Every structure is written in C-alpha cells, then in structure tokens.
Amino acid sequence: MTASPIVKGFYDPRTFSVQYVAACPATKRCAIIDPVLDFDPKSGATATLSADEILSYVATQGLTVEWILDTHPHADHFSAAQYLKAKTGAPTAIGDKVTKVQALWKDIYNWPDFPADGSQWDKLFADGETFKVGEIDAKVLFSPGHTLASITYVIGDAAFVHDTLFQPDGGTARADFPGGSARVLWHSIQEILALPDATRVFTGHDYQPGGREPAWESTIGEQKRANIHLTRARTEAEFVELREGRDKTLSMPNLILAALQVNTRGGRLPEPEDNGTRYLKIPLDRLAGAPWEDAR
C-alpha cells in the first residue's frame, strides 16, 4: 500500500497560489512545497506573513522540516525558499532543468555574470529521481510545458503538480511563457494521468471559477473524468489548438518580470545597493501579451 502523507494547504489570495506542507505521520518530518514570499507591487514592500503561517503550523504540529521544494521558478509570486531555509536549516531543491530557465532569463535581464548553473539551490532533482519525506517514498517527474523546468513531486499517494493541472473546473496551465509549449504540456499531463486513479492531486493555483471558494485537491480519476480542458481535447492536436487559443487571450502575469529575477536566484532578493535599498530591474519590450485591446 502506498503511504499517505498528511497534506496541509495554505492559500494566498493575493496571487491565487497554494503552498503546502506534506508530512510523514510516522516521523513528523515534512516537506514545504512552493512557499510564497509576500510582495506588494504597488508599494514595493515585502513581508513574510505567508511563510510565517507555515512555520507556525510546523511548530504547532511538532514537525521537522526536511525539504523546501519548489516545482519551478514561479512567474506570479516570489519564492520564500531562502527565508524558510534560514529559519529551519532545511535544504532547498528544484528540478535540474532550472538551468535552462536561468539561461533564458539571464539574457532577458542582461545579467552577464549570473551563474546559470542551479547553484542557488542545495539540490537539483533529475527526472525520475527518488528521495524520502520521513519514511515516505517520493519521486520526481519532469513535467515541462508550462515552463522549461517544471516538475511534479509524487510523495506517497500525493502528487504536487504545480501549474500543469488546475482543479477540474479550472482546466490546465498556460503554455505561452518564454520556453513554454502546449505540445510539451500535453505529454507532461499524460504522464501525470498515468498515475493511479486514487492518487491525490494538489495544484499550485486556484482562480476560483464562478466565484466558488478556493479549492486545490482532486484525484487523478477526477481529473480524467471532469477536467474541462481534457474532456474537450481528447487528442494532442485538439489540446494544442485549445490551449494556444486560450493563451492568446491572456495577459502576462502582473509579477512575472519582478518574480523571475527573484525566483531564478532561488528566492533571493537583489542585493542592497550602496544606499541600503534593494531594486528590481524591469526589462522593457521583451515579452508579448500586452493587453492593449482590453484597455480600449
């Protein structure tokens, strides 16, 4: 029988993101997955409220943090991985294809000295690599398409699928970010759907379709039966047409140009300049998807 971690989700309404703690009941050891560092783009303020809520839960449950895991460099929130590492001493990890994302954004940000080698994390997971959370077996699936580096963590009977799948009523992830591909995304989804039907599926975002309450857990069986994109697109060609058509209507995420310069550095904020202030660098005219028509 496949072990079942205790999974606690933390919803961030600012970014519609879901952060997780996945704990081994027997050992009280846990992994924190996709933690959020709070950022207010209007004021430029940062905070650790979301990460501190996770730490409070870890403390009240008597857990020991064994891993701090990111599924990919996020485009819509800052990663709190470095903050949590400083607080817990746990190693940070991400998929080894993060170097491809780093190389892409190194060019966009014009960072000639930036080391695009993944050294900003303690561990880079290869496709198919296994590890443990307490006594629970865990495995990494390479799940590109949304980004070049996206991975899925399968921890016991729980699959943390980042932005590849949403709740069944939300469909699937966009694939129009730099390095994204709807065709590649289709194949990643098929690998995830090959997991046992009873596998619990935990998504990285929930945009509350129809104004419902936030939700982030389903099963592989439910995704097969009810995902609004996968039931409409039964073949690769149909899916690519649906996904690319949908993506053409979407603007870039509000925080993408801010978030990627933090998240390609493992959740590190820029170093303070000589006045003690940190600055973000925003490249102009490098990304498509400006909503000019929507503004008229």
What are the tens digits of pLDDT across the range 118-136? 999 999 999 999 999 999 9
Per-residue pLDDT, averaged over 252-277, amounts to 96
What Cα–Cα distance (Å) separates residue 154 from each residue in 50, 80, 239? 24, 21, 24
Q: What angle do CA 90, 91, 92 make, to 5 degrees?
A: 120
Domain 6-270 in CATH 3.60.15.10: yes
Domain ranges of the chain: 6-270
Least Cα distance to 50 among 36, 32, 69, 66 occurs for 36
Question: Which pLDDT score is estimated for 2?
Answer: 86
Sorting pLDDT into bands at 50, 70 and 90, what band is 293?
low
Q: What angle do CA 286, 292, 294 make, to 5 degrees?
A: 135
Distance CA 148, CA 100 (A): 7
pLDDT in tens, 62-71: 999 999 999 9
DSSP state of 129: -
- And the tokens for 43? 């004021």
- Residue 270: CB atoms within 10 A of its CB come to 13
Question: Which pLDDT score is estimated for 290?
Answer: 81
